[in-house]
Amino acid sequence: MEIQTPDWVKHAVFYQIFPDRFARSQRSRDSFLNNSNLEAWDAPPTLQGYKGGDLWGVLEELDYIQSLGVNAIYFTPIFQSASNHRYHTHDYYQVDPMLGGNQALRVLIDAAHARNMKIVLDGVFNHSSRGFFFFHDVLENGSNSPWVNWFKIQDWPLAPYDGSLPANYDAWAGIRSLPTFNHDHPDVKEYIMKIAEYWLEFGIDGWRLDVPYDIKTPGFWQEFRQRVKGINPDAYIVGEIWSDAREWLDGTQFDGVMNYLFNEATIAFAVGDRIVLELVESQSYYPYPALDAAGYAAKIHSILELYPWEIQLTQLNVLSSHDTARLISIADGDQASVELCNLLLFTFPGAPSIYYGDEVGLPGAIDPDCRRVFPPESDWNPKILNTHKQLIAIRQNYPALRIGKYQVLYAKETVYVFARILESEELIIAVNVGTETITVNLDCSSLQSQPNQVLFGNGEIIWKEENVCLIIPPRSGLILG
């Protein structure tokens, strides 16, 4: 079968927003939200406190987001929920009133589309919450509830709050507040498909799927794809899979996954032994132990061999997210590590994704600290911001960086060099993660051209016929075009 993925994703740069923490609008709030019990905006985030960020705030920041060169936004969940992260869904048809309700999403989608920006929402379809109407009915009416078979009930009575008693129902990761759907029930399946269709008809451009590996019902994700693509053939379906995702990337289910395999290899190489181990050891990815250039080349080769090329081009490539510590904290504040990681991110096949605030050097340890509010301009790191803007502009200017083939030219010790090639357009990207200036001589006979303009970074280049001599300063990289 011919695999088809949405063309726009191959040319997208995503910005991931955690809505409670990005921007709080000055727009007058509904009367019942005027005196909300909100945490101070600039206080450290807590597991249960709300900051009051909203979609109106995002709307007011679209100029800033667009100024980065971003053309797609992925929102963590926005539907009505009793948690600041909104992975506990109460109502899949209502945008949380604290975020501005359905009206705010309507205005935001229209404004984004007017700027040729896409909007992707988070679909939490494996589990709901204790406050979800159907589960609440089961809590009230027990075995008499019409919805009792929508969930996986083992015994009575249910204990949704008392940890000293057996919960007696399946919940995600054993967390009582997240009752798992019974996806084998045809009504549950249809309910979820209808939600997906409803918001696509509303105007969203795709779904990021939370823990999709936990839905084991045969044919579920195949039908999901058919229904989604039936509404919008260009809709993006991206799954949260942290490891080898071949099972879901056969062309019949997802267009891509959050590419933590790229993330862990890149951090292990570019950050190396500067990594703060306690920020990554408890997580589901392994950006350690440190890799040398040959080890990185081997990892990248294996990643690029895993999936069909059409799927590689629509992977969602991340350096950090709402589920990980932030890159600058993982790198113990080392700015060169951050710049090297981003150089590798923005020159890799697939859609790069920036976790809000990473582009200005926002720190953060593991959850909830990685979900801090977007900082005021006085706290931005202008050098990191400038690096992001430069790299995004170069990526947008050169199709080879988006859809060109990826060819490793050199990988020894601390130096990794590769080319991105699209017909006659050829770029060379060179990275030196070491602490000393390195000179390398490359055989570039496989290239048609001799890229000799430094588009990014610094270093010296000397071409001699089909060979190039690169002199790369320590902890730096460059792009030649």
% of the chain at pLDDT higher than 70:
99
Q: pTM of the prediction?
A: 0.97
Instruction: Give the bridge partners for 480, in sequence order.
Output: 428, 454
pLDDT at position 102: 96
Q: Smallest Cα–Cα separation from 427: which of 449, 459, 403, 460? A: 449
280 and 287 Cβ atoms separated by less than 8 Å: yes
The pLDDT value given to residue 36:
79
Give per-residue pLDDT as tens, 405-419. 999 999 999 999 999
Whether the per-residue pLDDT at 28 is higher than 90: the answer is no
Mind listing the pLDDT tens digit for each residue in 433-467?
999 999 999 999 999 998 999 999 999 999 988 89
Q: Within 10 A of 173 (CB to CB), how many other CB atoms are there?
A: 9
Rounded Cα distance between 39 and 371, Å, is: 13
Alpha-carbon distance 462 to 47, whole Å? 54
What's the confidence (pLDDT) of residue 31?
63
**H helices present in 61-185, as ranges:** 62-67, 101-114, 133-141
Residue 26, pLDDT > 80, answer no
Confidence tier at 29 by pLDDT (50, 70, 90): low
Buried-exposed string 237-259: b where 16+ CB fall within 10 A, e elsewhere: bbbbbbeebeebbebebbbbbbb
Q: Are 124 and 180 in contact (CB under 8 A)?
A: no
- For residues 46 and 39, give the distance between their C-alpha atoms in angstroms, rounded to a whole number: 9
Per-residue confidence (pLDDT) for residue 466, from 0 to 100: 86
In terms of phi and psi (left: phi > 0; alpha: psi -120 to 50; beta: otherwise), the region of 477 is beta
What are the percentages of helix, strand and coil residues in the chain, rounded to 5? 35, 20, 45
230 token code pair = 């039936």
What pLDDT shows up at residue 27? 77
Q: Is the dihedral of CA 153, 155, 160, 165 positive or negative?
A: negative
Decide if 460 is catalytic: no
- Residue bearing tokens 């790198």: 331
Q: What is the mean pLDDT of residues 15-33?
A: 85
- Please report the pLDDT score of residue 276 as a whole number: 97
Higher per-residue confidence, 282 vs 383:
383
- The catalytic residue among 96, 122, 240, 255 is 240
Question: Rounded mean pLDDT of 13-24?
Answer: 97
Distance CA 60, CA 172 (A): 36
pLDDT of residue 30: 65
Question: Would you say residue 350 has pLDDT above 80?
Answer: yes
Instruction: From 361, 389, 366, select the one nearest 376 (Cα to Cα).
Output: 361
Q: Does 289 sit behind a cis peptide bond, omega within 30 degrees of 0 on the bond before it?
A: yes
Active site residue 423: no
pLDDT for residue 81: 97
Helix (H, G, I), strand (E, B) or coil at 418: strand
pLDDT interval class at 264 (50, 70, 90): very high
Tens of pLDDT along 209-257? 999 999 999 999 999 999 999 999 999 999 999 999 999 999 999 999 9
φ, ψ at 91 (rounded to 5°): -150, 110
Mean of pLDDT over the chain: 96
Q: β-pairing, 256-257 with 236-239?
A: parallel
User: Within a 10 A sphere around the Cβ of 166, how many other Cβ atoms?
Assistant: 12
* Sequence-separated (6 or more) residues with CB below 8 Å from residue 268: 275, 286, 287, 288, 289, 290, 291, 295, 296, 299
d(C-alpha 426, C-alpha 419), whole Å: 7
- For 170-192, what is each residue's pLDDT tens digit? 999 999 999 999 999 999 999 99
> Choosing from 210, 292, 339, 426, which is the catalytic residue?
210
94-143, pLDDT tens digit by residue?
A: 999 999 999 999 999 999 999 999 999 999 999 999 999 999 999 999 99
Contacts of 288 (CB under 8 A, 6+ apart): 267, 268, 275, 277, 280
pLDDT at 35: 72
Mapping DSSP to helix (H, G, I), strand (E, B) and coil, where does residue 437 land?
Answer: coil
User: Looking up tokens 């000393």, which residue turns up?
Assistant: 436
Residue 196, classed as helix, strand or coil, is helix
Where do runs of H (alpha helix) occur along 203-313?
Answer: 220-231, 260-270, 293-306, 309-312
Mean pLDDT for the stretch of residues 279-305:
96
Tell me which residue of 341, 375, 74, 304 sits closest to 207, measured CA to CA.
74
In terms of C-beta density within 10 A (0-12 exposed, 13-18 middle, 19 or more buried), how is residue 161 classed? exposed
